[in-house]
Amino acid sequence: MDRVAGFTSTGSKRPGALFGIEGEAAPLRMTRSSGCVVWDSEGREYLDYIMGLGSVALGYGHPEVTRAVAEAAQLGVVGPLPPVLEEALAADLCRLIPWLERVRFLKTGAEAMAAAVRLARVVTGRDTVLGCGYHGWLDWCQTGEGRGTPPASQALYRELPFNDAAAARELIRSAGDSLAAVVFEPVILEPPDPQWLAVLREETLRSGALLVADEIKTVCRLAIGGGCERYGIRPDLAVIGKAIANGLPLAAVGGRADVMEAVSRTWISSTLATEFVSLAASQATLAAMVRLQVPAHLTRVGTRLLAGLQALAAAHPEIVVRAVGLPEMCSLEYRDETVSGRVATACAARGLLFKRSAYNFVSLAHDEAIVDRTLGILDEAHSAVAAGPALSP
């Protein structure tokens, strides 16, 4: 009998999420990982592109991060006073990402996004939020489909479509002086339209609302400063997470000093936000990101992967709609859920963990030879699925 409710505590790692209806034939649990390879509970080896749901950009068990983690653990992990490392890491982040003038650390992206929204509400004295993308599971950003979320909370959140400048302008203006913040992911299956970004910035400035960039997936991947750096966005607040600590649990909200000052007028705190291990992991990760020019590597290797996915889509139009995403975070869009599940399971049977939806992530541990091997496995898997049982009633 499974003792973890819903099979696993990370919803996106459920067999149904990863493999769909074919999940019973796929790997269920893992024991270890290294570089871009993982081993399941039966000892089988897999080349991986899920990479901790995008939280690992240096590769699993990167030696510099592992060494920093071990040293931090030996120092006691946690204590009664703020660690020196907290201020040192904050200084590193503010130097590397200058639009972060002050930061506050938390453990998860969902937590940090909630903190950003609370800060926006304190600063503006308003309650309504417009959101574009996935911002976590907490009440503030759930729509009418989110069971267990009070209707009063749902009423304060509305979704804003990606890359639709006219709709963005209309929604922001219709919210009027009730709008506290517009929160957005800079990339959703494709790059942002500059006109859309301009409207978000212009209209939030006009209305007095804050512009909040959700860089949880994109920081240290599209660039050290994520989508804001690549596309020239200057938000009032940005939320970062995932790859900043190469898989260790750490996130942060940061931005303009006058906005971040609002932490003194509300309550944003977490017992383990300042444990040494994740802070040390992040400091080592950032140093490696800069020295090894990791975002440039991800772009180079990811470009090869995305080109291969585009060729696969053209070769298998009966099951694949298109390749989507950017080189650093991409995937294939399938005709239906049954097809995507069969493909993911066929890949796993051939030693490849490749996500059937957005996104797959390259890392420093992936190189051109590994990508070419991956594309060969993907081609075999797609051919097998296309030649298999009927794909639709």
Residue 1 pLDDT: 64
Residue 92 pLDDT: 98
Q: What is the pLDDT along the chain (393 residues), one digit of tens a residue?
A: 689 999 999 999 999 999 986 456 789 999 999 999 999 999 999 999 999 999 999 999 999 999 999 999 999 999 999 999 999 999 999 999 999 999 999 999 999 999 999 999 999 999 999 999 999 999 999 987 768 999 999 999 999 999 999 999 999 999 999 999 999 999 999 999 999 999 999 999 999 999 999 999 999 999 999 999 999 999 999 999 999 999 999 999 999 999 999 999 999 999 999 999 999 999 999 999 999 999 999 999 999 999 999 999 999 999 999 999 999 999 999 999 999 999 999 999 999 999 999 999 999 999 999 999 999 999 999 999 999 875 543
Residue 20 pLDDT: 87
Tell me the DSSP string of 84-142.
Answer: HHHHHHHHHHHHHSTT-SEEEEESSHHHHHHHHHHHHHHHHS--EEEEES---SSGGG-
Residues 6+ apart with CB under 8 A from 128: 156, 157, 158, 175, 178, 179, 180
Residue 392 pLDDT: 46
SS3 78: coil
Residue 393 pLDDT: 38
Q: CB-side exposure of 358: number of CA atoms within 13 Å? A: 15
* Six-digit token string for 59: 């590769």
* Six-digit token string for 333: 């869009």
Residue 58 near residue 246, CB atoms below 8 Å: yes
Q: Distance between CA 382 and CA 308 in Å, rounded? A: 13
For the entire predicted model, the pTM comes to 0.96
Q: Distance between CA 345 and CA 340 in Å, rounded? A: 9
pLDDT digits (tens, 9 = 90+) for 270-291: 999 999 999 999 999 999 999 9
Residue 47 near residue 351, CB atoms below 8 Å: yes
Using CA of residue 228, residue 291, residue 247, residue 49, what is the dihedral sign? positive
* Six-digit token string for 163: 């890359």
* Six-digit token string for 210: 């804050």
Q: Distance between CA 284 and CA 295 in Å, rounded? A: 16
Q: Distance between CA 154 and CA 150 in Å, rounded? A: 6
Domains identified in the chain and CATH numbers: 11-34+294-386 (3.90.1150.10), 63-291 (3.40.640.10)
Pairing of strands 102-106, 251-255: antiparallel
Of the candidates 349, 356, 353, 355, the one whose C-alpha atom is nearest the C-alpha of residue 335 is 356
